[in-house]
Amino acid sequence: MADQPVTSGTTGEQAGPTQGGPAPAVDQQALDEVVRFTSELIRIDTSNYGGGSCQERPAAEYAAARLAGAGLESTLLERTPGRANVVARIPGSDPGAPALLVHGHLDVVPAKAEDWSVPPFSGEIDDDVVWGRGAIDMKNMDAMILAVARYWSRAGLRPRRDIVIAFTADEEASAADGSGFLAEQHGALFEGCTEGISESGAFTVHDGRGRQIYPVAAGERGTAWLKLTARGRAGHGSRVNRDNAVTRLAAAVTRIGEHRWPVRLTPTVRAALTELAALYDIKADLGDPGDPQGAEGPEGLGDAVDALLAQLGPLGALVAATTRNSANPTMLEAGYKVNVIPGEAVAFVDGRYLPGGEDEFRATLDRLTGPDVDWEFAHREVALQAPVDTPTFARMRAALEEFAPEGDVVPYCMSGGTDAKQFSRLGITGYGFTPLKLPEGFDYHALFHGVDERVPIEALHFGVRVLDRFLRTA
């Protein structure tokens, strides 16, 4: 059923009043359920190949049924049949407080079974790990949200703010059937939401020197996929031709690929570098925090930032991609025969720009492509910037520190994008907060869209505890 809300599940007990006193830890059932739900969601194959073939509806129905078991009524929404999204609201105890959105996508990227040690959609649980596509990105978080909501219902607990839960379709392609559709057509379901949390932050980064860092995402670079077109005079390959489209395109592509983008510190990245430098007792002159975005940085800022990134090791790698705009040529299309000069040549470039960096990005591309090559956006998504000096950020920090006292929480900016971009159209400020406590040697980023994706059970337990604490106190 396209674009028709379907109400499902009104049975089960209603959430009771807020309890006073110190918040209890989650119960054993929540710990068991997060593992089982992760496994069962993985077994529902929601591979998104793009092009609209994905079917999220079975996973959406699974999630809605788990919420119904907690007395939560949810709405299933589809723009395209089978591409279901789920939205539910848990009323908070403070009617004056703004609502908080917690969202997770239901689709996953495809997996090539022959590359894996276990079947990727088995959801196999061994001693300490749940295996399968989506274990990290992001059926783990979907399961945590469900486990927490059900725990609150059992324990008669209520969050302070209204919590709006959204499980989305189509995040791994265009979001047109998922968060884009919800933001465009069903904004009323998100009424009162000022902030949101989702992938990907609050996971353990081991620095190799015994320190554990929990980066919480407070921003995303924007996406600017570009199409370059060079035109010239078509003709015989043996003739003199100073008007060759391939030569013009190749020159522009080379200039873009070799361009060294200047360092621009957004507030989030400046905060990340400042906090990391302090943790490691590294002296770094990051210039004037009041320096407006896009203005020329202080003399030597680029060198100072690069030196600091090098000293920070794996943590430097986490921040490096977000200190600059970037543009990488990725595809070339021109010609059909070696002795024919084509009249047109086309290239594609994967560009990413910082929050506040779009004007500089455009101006730089105009200059690098020059007068003979046109460029346009083939696909474009906004950049996001979230404040790190807010009560909400402080509560995320406190929830992590309570359950991982040995860790240090720092803000960071994501180099790519998430559904938060779509929800930002509703005025919702997005944070990456999917708490996971990971052992040393567990390469979180390599498992995103990677082979043998898996999640430690201990990480899921930690996630439920932290998420419960944060969502209830936020």
Q: Which of 107, 172, 195, 419 is catalytic?
A: 107
Q: Please list the residues that pair with 103 across neighbouring strands.
A: 166
Q: Which of 56, 137, 171, 453 is catalytic?
A: 171
| Contact with Zn ion (CB under 5 A) among 33, 137, 220, 419 | 137
Residue 200, preceding peptide bond in cis (omega within 30° of 0): yes
Query: How near is the Cβ of 85 to Zn ion at its closest, in Å?
Result: 15
Residue 178 or 232: which CB sits closer to Zn ion?
178
Collapsing DSSP to helix, strand or coil, 308 comes out as: helix
Residue 199 or 207: which CB sits closer to Zn ion?
199
Cβ(423)–Cβ(190) below 8 Å = yes
Q: Which of residues 198-237 bind Zn ion (CB under 5 A)?
A: 199
Query: How near is the Cβ of 416 to Zn ion at its closest, in Å?
Result: 9
Give yes or no: 107 in active site. Answer: yes
Among the candidate windows 82-90, 193-201, 305-313, 436-444, which touches Zn ion by CB under 5 A? 193-201
* Beta strands at 212-220 and 407-414: parallel, antiparallel or unpaired: parallel
Among the candidate windows 118-126, 196-204, 258-266, 465-473, which touches Zn ion by CB under 5 A? 196-204
Q: Is 408 in the site for Zn ion (CB under 5 A)?
A: no
Edge-to-edge strand list for the sheet holding 326-334: 326-334, 344-353, 222-231, 373-381
Give yes or no: 94 in active site. Answer: no
Residue 173 or 301: which CB sits closer to Zn ion?
173
Tokens of 417: 């994008």
Residue 169 or 286: which CB sits closer to Zn ion?
169
Query: How near is the Cβ of 134 to Zn ion at its closest, in Å?
Result: 9
Q: Is 135 in the site for Zn ion (CB under 5 A)?
A: no
User: Sign (positive/negative) of CA torsion 184, 186, 190, 196?
Assistant: negative
Residue closest to Zn ion when measured from CB atoms: 137
Q: What angle do CA 181, 97, 433 make, to 5 degrees?
A: 55
Among the candidate windows 63-71, 92-100, 135-143, 234-242, which touches Zn ion by CB under 5 A? 135-143
Residue 30 or 106: which CB sits closer to Zn ion?
106
CA distance 153 to 158: 8
Helix then strand then coil, in percent of the chain rounded to 5, is 35, 25, 45
Q: Which long-range contacts (CB under 8 A, 24 or more apart) does 57-63 make?
A: 57/82, 57/83, 57/84, 59/84, 59/106, 59/167, 60/84, 60/85, 60/86, 60/106, 60/167, 60/169, 61/8, 63/106, 63/142, 63/146, 63/167
Query: How near is the Cβ of 450 to Zn ion at its closest, in Å?
Result: 12
# chain residues binding Zn ion, by CB under 5 A: 3
| Contact with Zn ion (CB under 5 A) among 34, 100, 138, 286 | 138
Q: Is 193 in the site for Zn ion (CB under 5 A)?
A: no
Among the candidate windows 25-33, 132-140, 323-331, 346-354, which touches Zn ion by CB under 5 A? 132-140
Q: How many CB atoms lie within 10 A of CB 148?
A: 31
Q: Is 107 in the site for Zn ion (CB under 5 A)?
A: no
Residues annotated as part of the active site: 107, 171
The contact set with Zn ion (CB under 5 A) reads: 137-138, 199
